[in-house]
Amino acid sequence: MSGRFPPDFLWGTATAAHQIEGNNTNSDWWAFEHTTHPRIKEPSGDAADSYHRWGEDMDLLAGAGFTDYRFSIEWARVEPAPDEFSAAQLAHYRRMIDGARDRGLRPLVTLHHFTGPRWFAERGGWMSADAVDRFMRYVEAVAPILGDVDHVCTINEPHVVALIARLIAGTADRDMAGLEPDPRASAALIEAHHQAAPILRAHWPRQQVGWSLAWVNAYADPGAEDAAERYAQPRQIVFADASRDDDWVGVQSYTRTKVGVVDGWLTELKLGPGVERTLTGWEFYPQAIGDAVRTVASLVGDIPIIVTENGVATDGDERRIAYTDAALTSVQQAMADGVDVRGYFHWSLLDNYEWGSYRPTFGLVAVDKTTFARYPKPSLAWLGSHK
Ligand code: BGC
């Protein structure tokens, strides 16, 4: 695998504000991390202190040969109270955009990556009647700082946002494996995405607007295929259908997931013995991303695809390289078969807060929890030089 991607292919890593910045104290997740929910093993705390060290992070990325960086703007910082927008926080994120450009990195900016202001969640979050309006006010406030950003991702993994909405609201009647997005939240997220695009384009006519879909490659035992379809419909298909007018669609995939009906519930099934698992407990299945881009292409039609996340949680960096090598080969094979993939962003640049725990390490770079010193793993240089 090497030298087989087109010259203008986006080549980067992805991060999310809450997972690396630290002290995102005004967010709904910060509040959730301080409950006794079984999902929470530890709070995010200082994370990787990237709120202050983003320049160092970008230096590592550019120094390793990457040309692109996907990061997110934190709504909870930008709008700490309803309609109170922080000029200082907007200036902070503008400095990051400039900082990326100064280093030769093209920024792909996400406006919502799982977290929102605590006040938004307290008013019902994505299930509240004015959720879309609220998000639009935030988008209006952020749009002016997004000059020089070629690609904006409005919302990361909308189906997971809709699941988190239930988790945080305490209305989850099953664990994550069997939980279904609340259709009201899904509808609001789709509407928010559709309304955001014209706002952004009004400010920056050439901006390419899309969003990122989580693709888990659901499959089922022969004869039970309808379980996989029923699983994919509210989690993936509705959002792919809503992407048809976008400038691009982001695809994120890590594994495949076997589903079936247990005690009457459609749920993700446990892996059998002998299956290699990653630190998230997922099957080590690198061709997931190739499978995912093929399926998404068949659903959305003629829209360019960007792999906005793909990676593996492992302590063994050689396994990360093996996984990524096979994953990239699967993308190249899909491209050779005509799938229009325009870029690849690896998840993630840094070992970070994996939504409840620091244990699953996805990073190309390790971070000391006390000094915040960055320790690049061999995979950083390997991937940076492999376009
Ligand atoms: C999310 C990331 C997360 C990663 C690994 C994606 O679902 O966008 O925030 O850390 O997968 O679980």
Kindly state the percentage of the chain with pLDDT values over 90. Answer: 94
Whether 55 is covered by a domain: the verdict is yes
Whether 2 is covered by a domain: the verdict is no
* Residue 156 beta carbon below 6 angstroms from any ligand 1 atom: yes
Whether 5 is covered by a domain: the verdict is no
Question: Within 13 Å, how many C-alpha atoms sit on residue 252's CB side?
Answer: 24
* Residue 214 beta carbon below 6 angstroms from any ligand 1 atom: yes
How does residue 1 score in pLDDT terms, banded at 50, 70 and 90? low
pLDDT tens sequence across 298-323? 999 999 999 999 999 999 999 999 99
Ligand 1 atom with least separation from CA of 214: 7
Alpha-carbon gap, residue 219 to 258, rounded angstroms: 5
Count of domains for the chain: 1
Nearest alpha carbon, ligand 1 atom 3: 354
pLDDT at 168: 86
Phi then psi dihedrals of residue 64, to 5 deg: -85, -5
SS3 of residue 177 by DSSP: coil
pLDDT at 362: 99
Determine the residue type at 93: Y
CA 229 – ligand 1 centroid, Å: 23
pLDDT at 260: 96
Ligand 1 atom with least separation from CA of 362: 5
CA 95 – ligand 1 centroid, Å: 25
Whether 188 is covered by a domain: the verdict is yes
> Which CATH number characterizes residue 328's domain?
3.20.20.80
How confident is the model over 230-250, as a mean pLDDT? Answer: 97
Whether 251 is covered by a domain: the verdict is yes
How confident is the model over 51-61, as a mean pLDDT? Answer: 99
Query: Residue 192 pLDDT more than 80?
Result: yes
How does residue 173 score in pLDDT terms, banded at 50, 70 and 90? confident
pLDDT tens sequence across 247-288? 999 999 999 999 999 999 999 999 999 999 999 999 999 999
- Active-site residue set: 157
pLDDT tens sequence across 107-160? 999 999 999 999 999 999 999 999 999 999 999 999 999 999 999 999 999 999
Closest CA to 298 of 247, 234, 236: 236
CA 120 – ligand 1 centroid, Å: 22
Ligand 1 atom with least separation from CA of 313: 5
pLDDT at 3: 59
How does residue 178 score in pLDDT terms, banded at 50, 70 and 90? confident
pLDDT at 42: 98
Domain region containing 54: 10-384
Query: Residue 289 pLDDT more than 60?
Result: yes
pLDDT at 279: 98
Average pLDDT of the chain is 96
How does residue 387 score in pLDDT terms, banded at 50, 70 and 90? confident
How confident is the model over 312-340, as a mean pLDDT? Answer: 98
CA 49 – ligand 1 centroid, Å: 19
Pocket test for ligand 1, best of 29, 314, 355 (most atoms within 8 A of CB): 355
* Residue 351 beta carbon below 6 angstroms from any ligand 1 atom: no
pTM above 0.95, yes or no: yes
Ligand 1 atom with least separation from CA of 355: 10
* Residue 58 beta carbon below 6 angstroms from any ligand 1 atom: no
Closest CA to 69 of 141, 136, 145, 153: 153
Alpha-carbon gap, residue 327 to 1, rounded angstroms: 10
CA 350 – ligand 1 centroid, Å: 13
Whether 377 is covered by a domain: the verdict is yes
* Residue 16 beta carbon below 6 angstroms from any ligand 1 atom: yes
Alpha-carbon gap, residue 316 to 314, rounded angstroms: 5
Whether 218 is covered by a domain: the verdict is yes
